Amino acid sequence: MSLPRIAIDAMGGDEGVRVMVSGAALARRRHDQFRFLLVGDEARIKAALDQHPGMAGASEILHCDDVVGGDERPTQALRRAKTTSMGLAINAVKTGECAAAVSGGNTGALMAMSKLALRTMPGIDRPALAALMPTLGDNDVIMLDLGANTECDARNLVQFAIMGAAYSRIVTGLEAPRVRLLNIGTEETKGKTDLQDAAALLREATGLSLAFEGFVEADKINRGEVDVVVTDGFSGNIALKAIEGSARFVTDLLKSAFTSSLRSKIGFLVSRPATELLRHHLDPNNHNGGVFLGLNGVVVKSHGSANTQGVANAVEVTARLLEENLTERITADLAELGEDRLRDNGAGAK
């Protein structure tokens, strides 16, 4: 099957054109139906394509030498949406020239541009940033929101749960992913009013393709006991950074321990298969591809520091969302829940 084109912001990310093009090329070697619109400096893109001959016939270049800075404020970036590689990649989705966009650039600018250009889906008040994280279970866990909305009410959290479950069904194949709200305790009496209200709505909902299982604490996110963790962007971003920091701490601690003495170095050689498995499991490149859920179009955020493998994973996530009709799944679940039910339970949007 021939997939619709994917727009690649070739200038985004720490290493820009080289890694973005090589990542797209790696994804295409695995799935030769992929086609791309590469947005960025034409000379640099052509030089990168020379290293990947198979990409030439599957790619079109849209020249642009204006780039959104990593520390640029979203409001500043919005004013240059029509001239930057990020803005032009998103616009290609808006016009229908491409079905999705991938960027490793400034997260805040990417969200602002995407929301302004694509708007939110009917029934969704705010888009949310969702990402995959490793677990001890058979499947990765999806967590949202991770920074797009610092404050959320019960209505937003319920919508996030529906979107996250739809995403989980695509990447895990589960018919009814286990969904929990991030809280300071698992008891039903714990948490703020908005959390309590969201939990009540999800407990009462019938017909949704998810299994709501109450609350989860932060130390259980990666245990494999939940498939979708829902929270506001403030708490979600803090939790994500804490988890990523802990992963780096563990790997750095092991590295330090295994190089501290001759005996430790011998121990490292003996345990190397296990430590390599751990390193692979904790490598964010193997779980790369944050998705802005709730937009009228697919936009995927790659880690700015992603390597070729990481970018390839982000591109493959994008293609899978297109193949599995993510937006249609979300629309169907929203219809099942019903707008009236959200209003009748006092979960009005802020």
Q: How many Å apart are CA 287 and CA 281, to the nearest integer?
A: 9
Q: Is the dihedral of CA 318, 110, 84, 15 positive or negative?
A: negative
Domain 1-118: give its CATH architecture: 3-Layer(aba) Sandwich (3.40)
Helix (H) or strand (E) holding 61: strand 59-63
- Each residue's pLDDT expressed in tens, for the chain with a length of 350 residues: 456 799 999 998 777 899 999 999 998 888 778 899 999 999 999 999 998 888 888 899 999 989 998 888 988 889 998 999 999 999 999 999 999 999 998 888 999 999 999 999 888 998 999 988 888 888 889 999 888 888 899 999 999 999 999 999 988 888 899 999 999 988 888 888 999 999 999 988 877 888 999 999 998 998 889 999 999 988 888 888 887 777 777 767 767 766 766 666 665 555 555 555 555 555 666 667 789 999 999 999 988 788 888 899 899 889 888 888 888 888 888 877 765 555 555 454 44
Helix (H) or strand (E) holding 228: strand 228-230
* CATH topology match: 1-118 vs 124-294+322-350: yes
Q: How many Å apart are CA 7 and CA 19, to the nearest integer?
A: 15
Give me the CATH topology for the region 124-294+322-350.
Isopropylmalate Dehydrogenase (3.40.718)
**pTM for the predicted model, two decimal places:** 0.82
The domain segmentation of the chain, as residue ranges, is 1-118, 124-294+322-350
The answer to whether 289 and 132 have CB atoms below 8 angstroms apart is: yes
The answer to whether 45 and 13 have CB atoms below 8 angstroms apart is: no
Q: How many Å apart are CA 282 and CA 285, to the nearest integer?
A: 9
Half-sphere exposure of 247 (CA within 13 A, CB side): 17
Q: What are phi and psi of 218, to 5 degrees?
A: -60, -30
Q: Is 295 helix (H, G, I), strand (E, B) or coil?
A: strand
Looking up tokens 């599995």 gives 324
Length of the chain: 350
Q: How many Å apart are CA 219 and CA 217, to the nearest integer?
A: 6
**How crowded is residue 195: how many other Cβ atoms within 10 Å of its Cβ?**
21
